[in-house]
Amino acid sequence: MAQRELSFFETVLAFFDKAAAYTSHPKGLLDQIKYCNSVYSFKFPLKNDDGTYEIIHGFRVEHSHHKQPVKGGIRYSEMVNEDEIKALAALMTYKCAIVDVPFGGAKGGVKIEPRNYTSSQLERITRRYTAELVKKNFIGPGVDVPAPDYGTSGREMAWIADTFNALNPGLIDSDACVTGKPIEQGGIRGRIEATGNGVFYGVRHVLSYAEDMKKLGLSPGLDGKRVVVQGMGNVGYHVAKFFQQAGAVIVAVAEYDGAIYNPNGIDIDELQAHRKETGSTLDFPGAKNFENGKQALEYECDILVPAALERQITAENAPRVQAKIIAEAANGPTTADGEDILLKKGVMIIPDMYLNAGGVTVSYFEWLKNLSHVRFGRMSKRFEEASNMGLLNAVEKLTGKALSQDEKTLISHGADEIDLVNSGLEETMINAYDDIHETLVSTDGLDDLRTAAFVSSINKIAVTYMQLGIFP
């Protein structure tokens, strides 16, 4: 009899159990960390323009309250279900702990296909969804802070913020009830590309460990690496773009409508222009179409970046995956059985709970900006520029050598919001991976990055609970 495939949440639990065996925490504490604290499933009616009604199913799961507020995106997809939202909420808890962002984990979802709805319908759905969260105290700047996810964007976050504001008049910090907002409505520069940028910083740093790369038969650095990207949404596009700018060669790209390949490389911006013009990734000039889109996952490359949905690499296709590194930009793209096969083949898997943490990291910066009511860099930028210019003038006097005005402007530049956001994100991704790597090499029997990431995360969360006095 064939063994039943684990669900998404069961897969997360299996990964947790594997890591928990490398810790010494009591079972009660591990169970508290492992399971979801609050699960909210609800339905509400949507009145269509023709007068008919349909019932919309929404979810919000708060996995862990060891830190507050809890944090997690809201996705709009026909595939949304309770198991998926619980799994994603759990991953958010571990992700926040790994990158030292002081949030518990949460996730939300609405079971719709957004492409089948007008903007007006989506606005009504979003505002009613927000009102349902307000009713049960599942949203608020100190309670639960959503963000964009698959199928949502800054537009939906603006509707959420506006609805929350209307229902909470006079709350001075209400803009911090949600992140991923448009800049004009309290958002932060760098948030749109944050997840992709974090993947770039993370992979680049992983590839700087020369001994680890030597074991894979690779040289350090991204330059010349052959990369396959699955998913050309916001995350996949920015990953591909940043990798290409760093000298990597994008040899294949997969989207929901099919996949293409070119061993000599695919220009990402030209591909995006082609998609806008034709509505499809297929038939891109200079590239060939795969017969089946999932064949891209099996194409020969150095780095495979699954940046679409969960459960893309399974026991069925893992034996045919040729990549040396799997960089999980999506949440849960590899099943437990698929991972076992890849690890036995010597593939390095950079886990999602670390690698795609750029989004929540920059969301944290946005939350801080909303609470402080001041743009990063506003207080210091001009002072830094004046100080730097004074230093340059002093150097010119001492050396007798004059710099051009362009050189002076470049060197004296004071940090603006985007500079500080990217600096903070890069620092976060580097430090987090160093912690994971240290856990990997210092824990007897550990031999994969995902388990090391879980161990690191569990230990950090356990310390918080013990400090709270909940567990001895």
Position 411 scores a pLDDT of 87
Q: What's the CA gap between 232 and 219, in Å, rounded? A: 27
Of the listed ranges 4-13, 116-125, 172-181, the one predicted with least confidence: 4-13
Between 6 and 304, residue with greater pLDDT: 304
Residues 6+ apart with CB under 8 A from 73: 88, 107, 108, 146, 147, 148, 149, 150, 152, 180, 359
Q: Is the pLDDT score of 3 beyond 80?
A: no
Q: What is the DSSP string of 42-82?
A: EEEEEE-TTS-EEEEEEEEEE---SSSSEEEEEEE-TT--H
Q: Can you give the pLDDT at residue 270?
A: 96
Q: What is the pLDDT of residue 2?
A: 56
Write out pLDDT tens, residues 117-166: 999 999 999 999 999 999 999 999 999 999 999 899 999 999 999 999 99
pLDDT over 90 percentage in the chain: 84
Q: Domains for the chain: give ranges and CATH numbers.
A: 39-185 (3.40.50.10860)
Query: Comparing C-alpha atoms, which of 294, 196, 186, 205 is closest to residue 240?
Result: 196
- Give yes or no for a contact between 333 and 308, defined as CB atoms under 8 angstroms apart: yes
Amino acid in position 185: Q
Predicted confidence (pLDDT) at residue 472 exceeds the cutoff of 80: no
| Active centre residues (catalytic) | 107
Give me the pLDDT at residue 257, please: 87
pLDDT at 1 over 80: no
- Band of residue 241 on the pLDDT scale cut at 50, 70, 90: very high
* Mean pLDDT confidence for 434-443: 96
Indicate if the pLDDT at residue 422 is higher than 90.
yes
345-369: average pLDDT: 96
27: CB partners within 8 A, 6+ apart: none
Mean pLDDT, residues 322-349: 95
At residue 450 the predicted structure's pLDDT band, cuts being 50, 70 and 90, is very high
Question: Bridge partners of 252?
Answer: 228, 261
Instruction: Answer whether 0.75 is exceeded by the pTM.
Output: yes
Report the pLDDT averaged over residues 181-200: 95
Rounded Cα distance between 444 and 446, Å, is: 6
**Considering the chain, what is the average pLDDT of its residues?**
94
Residue-wise over 258-276: b if at least 16 C-beta within 10 A, else e? bbbbbeeebbbeebeebbe
Q: What is the mean pLDDT of residues 80-104?
A: 97
DSSP class of residue 414?
P
d(CA 29, CA 64) in angstroms, rounded, equals: 12
**210: pLDDT strictly greater than 90:** yes
- φ, ψ (nearest 5 deg) of residue 137: 60, 45
Asked if the model's pLDDT at residue 229 lies above 90, the reply is: yes
Q: Which two three-digit tokens encode residue 207?
A: 């590839």
